């Protein structure tokens, strides 16, 4: 009655955030971050069809699978756009070991979470600009209109917010 392999839904529920983030980060290079969900789904289907054996860390397996599938998407998009010649930096997925890739990705997740948590030190106005303009990437003019300031002022607020975050993160590191 019990499955011989891993409990895929449970694994996915635990690691889908990491999978989406790593895929979005790769795909952003071509403005394809909206396809992160497709890359993640393809990665899961591939893993379920051919489950890896002797797994040390399932998180590593899932994150690397999502990243590699995103790289595949990126390659396809770049080939369609510019022909078959791709830069060396797009070949890294096959060259580095899986654990190393996963550690990098998970370290990145942790840094990202710390940066997000640090938003709490900002006042509401600076936090709003950091979230809506820097993180979500909404148009500057739109946010300027909402706040009743000039677009240049939005950039100043964003820069000051990020500078405060930088100092806060540096403080945390030295603790």
Of 106, 114, 109, nearest in space to 169 by CA: 114
User: Can residue 75 be called a binding residue for other proteins (CB under 8 A)?
Assistant: no
Backbone dihedral region of 36: left (phi > 0), alpha (psi from -120 to 50 degrees) or beta? alpha
* Paired tokens of 98: 């899986």
Residue closer to other proteins by CB (options 68, 140) is 140
Determine which residue in the list 102, 133, 143, 144 makes contact with other proteins, applying CB under 8 A: 133
Q: How far, in Å, are 126, 129, 132, 133 from residue 149 at the CA level?
A: 13, 12, 15, 14
Determine which residue in the list 80, 81, 136, 175 makes contact with other proteins, applying CB under 8 A: 136
User: Can residue 2 be called a binding residue for other proteins (CB under 8 A)?
Assistant: yes
Interface of this chain with other proteins, residues 8 to 47, rule: CB under 8 A:
8-14, 16-17, 19-21, 24-25, 28-31, 33, 36-38, 40-42, 44-46
* Paired tokens of 72: 């595949």
User: Can residue 127 be called a binding residue for other proteins (CB under 8 A)?
Assistant: no
C-beta separation of 20 from 36 below 8 A: yes
C-beta separation of 168 from 118 below 8 A: yes
Tokens 């820069």, located at residue:
159
The piece of 80-88, 96-104, 109-117, 142-150 that touches other proteins (CB under 8 A) is 109-117
CA angle 22, 127, 16 (to 5 degrees): 20
Tokens 């990020």, located at residue:
162
Determine which residue in the list 76, 112, 145, 150 makes contact with other proteins, applying CB under 8 A: 112
User: Can residue 165 be called a binding residue for other proteins (CB under 8 A)?
Assistant: yes
Q: Which residues bind other proteins (CB under 8 A)?
A: 1-3, 6-14, 16-17, 19-21, 24-25, 28-31, 33, 36-38, 40-42, 44-46, 49, 58, 108, 111-116, 119, 130-131, 133-137, 140, 152, 155-156, 158-160, 162-167, 169
């Amino acid at each position: 009655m019990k499955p011989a392999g891993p409990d895929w839904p449970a694994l996915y529920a635990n690691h889908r955030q990491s999978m989406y983030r790593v895929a979005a980060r790769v795909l952003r290079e071509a403005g394809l971050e909206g396809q992160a969900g497709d890359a993640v789904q393809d990665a899961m289907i591939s893993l379920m069809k051919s489950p890896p054996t002797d797994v040390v860390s399932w998180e590593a397996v899932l994150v690397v699978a999502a990243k590699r599938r995103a790289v595949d998407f990126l390659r396809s998009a770049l080939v369609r756009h510019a022909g078959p010649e791709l830069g060396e930096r797009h070949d890294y997925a096959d060259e580095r070991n899986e654990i190393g890739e996963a550690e990098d990705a998970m370290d990145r997740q942790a840094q990202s979470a710390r940066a997000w948590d640090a938003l709490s030190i900002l006042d509401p106005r600076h936090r709003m600009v950091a979230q809506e303009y820097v993180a979500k990437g909404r148009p500057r003019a739109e946010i300027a209109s909402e706040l009743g300031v000039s677009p240049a002022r939005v950039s100043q607020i964003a820069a000051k917010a990020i500078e405060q975050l930088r100092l806060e993160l540096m403080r945390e590191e030295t603790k």
